[in-house]
């Protein structure tokens, strides 16, 4: 058993009695009520999911295993010559809740290295698809094609104790995570770089190797590390995380679950939003004739956008009520590496101008920027100008968090998910009864 798996097992054993006690002794304690608005409105704010991997505080932003983004970026061991932590160390943190030592990070990197060989048929599947297929479709198809590799399915079919489900799930998760960056880079080079794919370099860490396979020089290795870490998890109620958890709750294996997670992320209201931000900013640039506008000119442009009935992309959030710390982490990167980039200058002006305008308009509950207001600018700067690919990068990152959640779901024996539906007539009946009770 690997050191990480051993540590995880110790943590799981210590955690299980907590969950068991809550169900057995406090299962009927209420966490809240559900109203008609929530039943129709996408279960917003309904507290009915449990995860210890991350928690989204409306005022603070995401905490991974209790740690804020600045804390995670500061405390995790860093790749030599870079400013950003190893993705491998972040995986260790997500799985165990502990900050790893350098040695522990090296062991995780070694474990990934041993699992990194992508089966040839995955590339064959990708090559058989029309080249203009969306890269998210390709990623999803590649992942589901690998389902035949599932260790969980083999063990399940052979007969396995429920308590041990997490073990082959861990095997599947680590195998898939080890291979996902190469599959993503392969899609990129095959589709957008004249089919000049670059073989993996096993001497490099995950972020370094991804930059190498993308064919992009430093500090893109740090961009990759930052990007994968920032996008890894955002609680479990967002569409991609929830889709992964839901599918896995049927004991479908990691490959089915992560492929479903990718499909959810592909929607324009979720992961795809980051490409919309960039095209909007470029529209602003074109209208301004490329020159850097004054704050007043930009203010006018933002008002014009609002008055034409459109939202300001990259601003607002369903849960957050302050600037997204994922935005701030990327902003700091931009200030260090690309402060003079024209696109970043626009983003910087928007950061000053948009929140007061949205506050003045008085509609958005959160006038501050979210993660998507920065991500595309960095990718564009380093030459990844194919918008369609941005969500693939998001998906690789998100897979780390969703896989950690699924392993823990299995470890704690979370059952198949099955919320109850009602009919519109039942809602009308409930509304009538509530009105009658009031009068």
Ligand X SMILES: CC(C)(COP(=O)(O)OP(=O)(O)OC[C@H]1O[C@@H](n2cnc3c(N)ncnc32)[C@H](O)[C@@H]1OP(=O)(O)O)[C@@H](O)C(=O)NCCC(=O)NCCS
Q: With binding defined as CB under 6 A, does residue 301 bind ligand X?
A: no
Smallest gap from residue 364 Cβ to ligand X (A):
3
Q: Which of 313, 355, 397, 401 binds ligand X (CB under 6 A)?
A: 313
Q: Coil, helix or strand for 61?
A: strand
Taking every pair of Cα atoms in the chain, the longest distance, rounded to a whole number of angstroms, is 73
* CA 156-1-147 angle, 5° bins: 35
What span, in angstroms and rounded, lies between the C-alpha atoms of 14 and 184? 36
Q: For 61, list phi and psi in degrees, rounded to 5.
A: 90, -165
The least CB distance from residue 72 to ligand X, in Å, is: 20
Catalytic annotation, pick one of 83, 270, 341, 348:
270
409 is catalytic: no
| Residue listed under structure tokens 């592909």 | 266
In terms of C-beta density within 10 A (0-12 exposed, 13-18 middle, 19 or more buried), how is residue 125 classed? middle
d(CA 92, CA 373): 28
Between 299 and 317, CB nearer to ligand X: 317
3-class DSSP state of 399: helix
Among 170, 256, 301, 315, indicate the residue that binds ligand X (CB under 6 A): 315
Which residues touch 300 (CB under 8 Å, ≥6 apart)? none
317 or 410, CB closer to ligand X? Answer: 317
Is residue 329 a contact point for ligand X (CB under 6 A)?
no
Q: Is residue 317 involved in binding ligand X (CB under 6 A)?
A: yes
In the complex with ligand X, the residue whose CB is nearer, 21 or 363, is 363
Is 317 labeled as catalytic in the residue annotation? yes
Catalytic site includes residue 233:
no
Minimum distance, C-beta of residue 348 to ligand X, in the bound complex (Å): 17
Taking the complex as a whole, the smallest distance from the CB of residue 402 to ligand X amounts, in Å, to 17
Over the window 335 to 374, marking each residue x when it contacts ligand X by CB under 6 A and - when it does not, the resulting string is: ----------------------------xxxx---x-x--
Part in contact with ligand X (CB under 6 A); list of ranges 13-21, 309-317, 413-421, 426-434? 309-317
Specify the residue, 180 or 312, whose C-beta has the smaller distance to ligand X: 312
For residue 115, which of 153, 165, 172 has the smallest C-alpha distance?
172
> Among candidates 273, 260, 296, 270, which has minimal Cα distance to 139?
260
The first and second tokens of residue 153, run together, are 């399915």
**Residues near ligand X (CB under 6 A), total:** 16
Concatenated DSSP letters for 27-48?
A: TT-------HHHHHTTTTT---
Q: Which of residues 236-275 bind ligand X (CB under 6 A)?
A: 273
Interface residues with ligand X (CB under 6 A)? 273, 306, 311-318, 363-366, 370, 372
Residues known to be catalytic: 270, 317, 372
């Amino acid at each position: 058993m690997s050191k990480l798996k051993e540590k995880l097992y110790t943590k799981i054993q210590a955690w299980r009695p907590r969950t068991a006690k809550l169900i057995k002794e406090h299962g009927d304690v209420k966490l809240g009520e559900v109203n008609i608005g929530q039943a129709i409105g996408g279960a917003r704010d309904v507290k009915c999911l449990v995860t210890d991997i991350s928690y989204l505080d409306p005022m603070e932003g995401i905490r991974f295993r209790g740690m804020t983004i600045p804390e995670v970026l500061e405390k995790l061991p860093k790749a030599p010559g870079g400013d950003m932590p190893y993705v491998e160390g972040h995986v260790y943190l997500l799985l165990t809740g502990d900050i790893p030592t350098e040695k522990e990070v090296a062991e995780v990197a070694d474990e990934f290295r041993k699992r990194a060989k992508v089966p040839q048929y995955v590339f064959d599947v990708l090559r058989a698809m029309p080249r203009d297929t969306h890269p998210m479709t390709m990623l999803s198809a590649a992942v589901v094609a690998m389902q035949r590799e599932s260790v969980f399915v083999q063990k399940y079919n052979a007969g396995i104790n429920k308590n041990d489900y997490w073990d082959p799930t861990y095997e599947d998760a680590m195998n898939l995570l080890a291979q996902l960056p190469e599959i993503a880079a392969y899609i990129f080079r095959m589709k957008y770089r004249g089919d000049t794919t670059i073989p993996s370099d096993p001497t490099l860490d995950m972020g370094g190797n991804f930059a190498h396979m993308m064919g992009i020089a430093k500090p893109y290795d740090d961009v990759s590390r930052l990007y994968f870490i920032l996008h890894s998890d955002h609680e479990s109620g967002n569409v991609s995380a929830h889709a992964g958890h839901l599918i896995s709750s049927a004991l479908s294996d990691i490959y089915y679950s992560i492929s479903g997670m990718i499909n959810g992320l592909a929607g324009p209201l979720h992961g795809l939003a980051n490409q919309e931000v960039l095209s909007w900013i470029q529209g602003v640039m074109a209208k301004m004739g490329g020159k850097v506008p004054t704050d007043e000119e930009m203010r006018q442009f933002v008002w014009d956008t609002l008055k034409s009935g459109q939202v300001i992309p990259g601003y607002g959030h369903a849960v957050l009520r302050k600037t997204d710390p994922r935005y701030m982490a990327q902003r700091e990167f931009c200030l260090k590496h690309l402060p003079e980039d024209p696109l970043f200058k626009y983003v910087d002006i928007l950061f000053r101008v948009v929140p007061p305008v949205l506050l003045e308009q008085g509609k958005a509950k959160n006038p501050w920027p979210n993660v998507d207001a920065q991500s595309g600018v960095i990718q564009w700067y380093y030459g990844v100008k194919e918008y369609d690919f941005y969500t693939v990068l998001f998906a690789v990152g998100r897979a780390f968090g969703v896989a950690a959640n699924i392993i823990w779901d299995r470890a704690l024996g979370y059952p198949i998910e099955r919320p109850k539906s009602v009919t519109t007539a039942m809602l009308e009946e409930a509304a009538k009864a509530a009105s009658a009770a009031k009068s």
